[in-house]
Chains A and B, each alone.
Chain A
Amino acid sequence: MQRLPNHPLLGPITGAALGFALPACECGNVPVARRLIAGGAPLGTSFGFLFAAPVLNPVVIASTWAAFPNQPWLLAARPLGALLVALTLSHLLRLIPEAELLTPALLAERRLSQPLTQVGLLERSSGLVGAPVQAITPPTQRPPLGEVLQHSSREFLDLTALLVMGCAIAALVQTLMPRSWLLAVGGAPTLSVLSLMLLAVVVSVCSSVDAFLALGFAAQITPGALVAFLVLGPVMDLKLLGLFGVLFKPKAIALTAAGASVMVLLLGQWVNLIRL
């Protein structure tokens, strides 16, 4: 994990490429990204994985192709858009110091995994004053299976609760707000992008199936709005807001939401400029 690149550009790209090794939708990759951060992986790589891997993976690319076989440009636009958003968010979030970015529990775990050459004893809240600075050595023995199962069950249940809460909010909003309201502005370039962005946030559907959902209304909306729906959904939606709570402090979640929205709006506009 320590060998993952810390380069501002290579880091997020490597993280995004990890999606091909761990194909999961955005709900599945939050716990993996959390483990990456807790394990001391460079933040850029972890953010690249968190934001781009839900799109840059074989399952999602195949489902996009299955849903839109006659629109090959979408197969390039969607992963590229996701990569661009991930790069931007990664740069934005790295502007905030780690202590103000990550939740206290995650930060404490991360500090323990980082070598003393990188973090001080005060930051790490543990260690011995005067002890020689050593690079962290990987544990020689694997933890017992019982411990692994117990640890993963705690993580699973924590995330299940957040996922259930996020789904309940998304279901409530969808029940109270008819989908037809969001699709009513289909033809207008900017408004269609904005309304489909809102739809992506509200419906909170996983990246592996959202292309099939988009297929239902693709003919009524602009190409830019379609890209906006397919790129924003995996990065930011109502159910993810709860899940991000295990990684980020509220300020960082707000910055992620704002950064992703601005980037996707621009992307949608560019696509509309080219395709309309």
Chain B
Amino acid sequence: MRSMSLALWGGVLLSSSMTGRLDLLLQSTFHPLVAGSGLVLLIWGLQQLWSSWREPRQRPSPITWWLSSVVALLVLIVPPNPSFSELVANRPNQLADDSSLSFVSPPAQRTLTDWVRLMNSQPDPKLYAGDPVRISGFVLPQPGDRPQLARLLVRCCLADATPVGLPMRWPKGFKPRADTWLAVRGRMELEEHNGQIRTVVAVQHLNPIPRPKRPLEP
């Protein structure tokens, strides 16, 4: 049981690094650390298997080892199916203070995160009116407003994920479904919202895309 449990947890860490599951949880900087730990655990499990085969000992394993092995097995078997919009509903919508941006790319090359950071540092909506927009993100429903297109920013792991979103003016008749990933082309326009002028992306063209391999952005 000891060797199986060690090997199972090693397998969980290794397979999570190799199948991209870790991309849903942790920033890529830390992936080699997880993969390395998985490899060590796997080798450790095999070593324990080898030593128990050479010197068999009949000692019952604690029930907690069985339970943790079942959890590891479930993690291996059940595929992850996260809902980013549900996660975001529980998070404060507060970007870290990026008051000065050192580099600004041309409008059509800006990602959704670039746009939000730029608008945070220079909040005047008139600066962006008419700019072309080509972004991708997931649909994030907003209470009392149209759904936004959003991304999740992560500094370390999912625990500190912060949502960033842009208000959208969707094409007539199109009902965006929460959590759907979309690539959007359009133009920045101004609109009045709750007595204030704000920038919205007027969508001209959109198409659904699969969830990116690395959906969390640094």
Contact = CB atoms under 8 A, between A and B. Distances in A.
Given A212-B160, A217-B92, A157 B68 contact: yes
A149 B45 CA distance: 10
Nearest to B70: A164
A2 interface: no
A200 to B, nearest CB: 12
Interface in A127-168: 146, 149-150, 153-154, 156-158, 160-162, 164-165
Interface residues of B, number: 27
Chain B's interface: helix, strand, loop or mixed, by majority?
A: helix
Interface stretch (B14-22, B151-159, B171-179): B151-159
B2 A157 contact: yes
A72 interface: no
A212 B65 contact: no
A179 interface: yes
Contacts of B196: none
B115 interface: no
B2 A209 contact: no
Interface in A171-211: 174, 178-180, 183, 203, 205, 208-209
B50 to A, nearest CB: 10
A30 to B, nearest CB: 15
Interface in B33-86: 44, 47-48, 51, 62, 64-65, 67-68, 71
Nearest to A181: B90
Contacts of A178: 89-90
Nearest to A69: B97
A165 B64 CA distance: 9
Contact of B94 (A153, A156, A209, A219): A219
B155 A212 contact: yes
Interface residues of A, number: 32
Contact of A209 (B5, B48, B159): B159
A183 B92 contact: yes
B214 interface: no
A220 interface: yes
A216 interface: yes
Contacts of B118: none
Given A146-B51, A160-B68, A216-B91, A153 B44 contact: yes
Given A157-B6, A164-B68, A178-B90, A205 B159 contact: yes
A217 B89 contact: no
B170 interface: no
A215 interface: yes
Contacts of B160: 205, 209, 212-213, 215-216
A105 to B, nearest CB: 12
